[in-house]
Amino acid sequence: MATYPTKRLRRLRYSPLVRDMVRETVLTKNDLIYPLFVVPGKNVKKEVRSMPGVFQMSIDTVVEECKEVEKLGIPAVILFGIPDHKDEVGSGAYDPNGIIQQAVRTIKAEVKKLLVITDVCLCEYTSHGHCGVLHGENILNDETVSLLAKESVSHAEAGADIIAPSDMMDGRVSAIRKALDYKGFSHIPILSYAVKYASGFYGPFRDAAESAPAFGDRRSHQMDIANSDEALREAESDIEEGADMIMVKPAGAYLDIIWRVKEKFGMPTAAYQVSGEYAMIKAAGKNNWIDEERVMIESLIAIKRAGADMILTYFAKEVARYLDKNK
Ligand code: PBG
């Protein structure tokens, strides 16, 4: 094996063209999934306080947004809904005329080249902000799972292309798979939030989705941030239950988990660069403490380098514009 001075690793860094030639990881538009928050009303476009550039939008505005996303060449959006009324059992989540069901129908009718993924959970729809049906202060797993299956079917009936359960209840992937198959949606893939940590990085999302729990937290179902072997068990059970794609969330502080999950299972793997990751980069960028565009790209390249095949990111539109500009 050659050693210095024969071997000089700097040779492959001496010009931009050489660096381009040996680059291992590239970010493309096909990697991007853009999250959108749908609210009731008309002509609504309200910026989320803690997420500059991210808006709550009514269906008409979301449709316009989706047309822009399609034009930018981003292949997919994921929808979150904020209903006009919330109740104990989150009935807005599986109402055939709920906010998401209406949004999906309208988008699918008006925007042709865009995958519409729906987030399946109850937390945006329950009056207490928890991800399931409660008994006292406990979330009932199996009762919740039945409602999630119902929610998934209603999304598929509205025209959703991919179903993405984010609740972290046990057994929900198999229940959703069975329900979808029974109703004639055996062709609709499931992207499961297989490895979702109980993370402080979700803070701004709870402003955006108005889904903060009224009491307690989500530690009885989301994973302990200190665990890594357990992530493999979570991923394995979702794959066994029929998940077509799996997700790790958050992304930036969990690159080791993305790596392990991808190495072990070789599944199509998504990573969610969550609201807090976005908010931190935006805030530091606005203060001119960091070069926002550069850090945005660096954060996403790192996630891909760790093994992610796709990234859910609030930066999707900015990245698409960046890629157009830097072709
Ligand atoms: C639950 C859900 C959450 C996020 C996506 N789906 C919030 C939570 O678990 O509290 C967070 C996404 C983000 O922070 O950007 N429906």
pLDDT at 207: 86
The topology (CATH level 3) of 23-325 is TIM Barrel (3.20.20)
Which residues have C-beta atoms less than 6 Å from ligand 1? 119, 121, 123, 166, 202, 205, 218, 274-275
pTM score > 0.85 for this model? yes
pLDDT of residue 6: 97
Residue 120's closest CA among 71, 190, 51, 50?
190
According to the model, what pLDDT value does residue 204 have?
96
CA-CA distance, 266 to 145, in Å (whole number)?
27
Q: Give the model confidence (pLDDT) of 243-253 as tens digits.
A: 999 999 999 99
Query: Averaged over 261-289, what is the pLDDT?
Result: 98
Whether 196 is catalytic is yes
| Residue extents of the structural domains in the chain | 23-325
| Residue-wise DSSP of 69-97 | HHHTT--EEEEEE--S--BTT-GGGS-TT
Which residue among 80, 152, 172, 202 has the greatest number of ligand 1 atoms within 8 angstroms of its CB, and so is best to mutate?
202
Mean pLDDT of 42-65: 97
What does the pLDDT read at residue 127?
95
Residue 254: pLDDT band with limits 50, 70, 90: very high
What pLDDT score does 327 carry?
A: 82
| Tens-digit pLDDT profile for residues 187-204 | 999 999 999 999 999 999
In the prediction, which pLDDT does 1 show? 83
Query: In this structure, which amino acid lies at residue 143?
Result: E
The two tokens of residue 315 are 């930066």
Distance 17 CA to ligand 1 centre (A): 40
Catalytic residue among 196, 262, 282, 304: 196
Q: What is the pLDDT of residues 113-142, one digit of tens each?
A: 999 999 999 999 999 999 999 999 999 999
Q: How many CA atoms lie within 13 A of 33 on its CB side?
A: 24
Instruction: Please name the residue whose Cα sits nearest to atom 16 of ligand 1.
Output: 121
Q: What is the mean pLDDT of residues 204-231?
A: 94
> Per-residue pLDDT tens for 141-170?
999 999 999 999 999 999 999 999 999 999
Q: Is 267 helix (H, G, I), strand (E, B) or coil?
A: coil
Indicate which atom in ligand 1 lies nearest the CA of residue 121.
Answer: 16
At CA 15, angle to CA 9 and CA 19, rounded to 5?
65
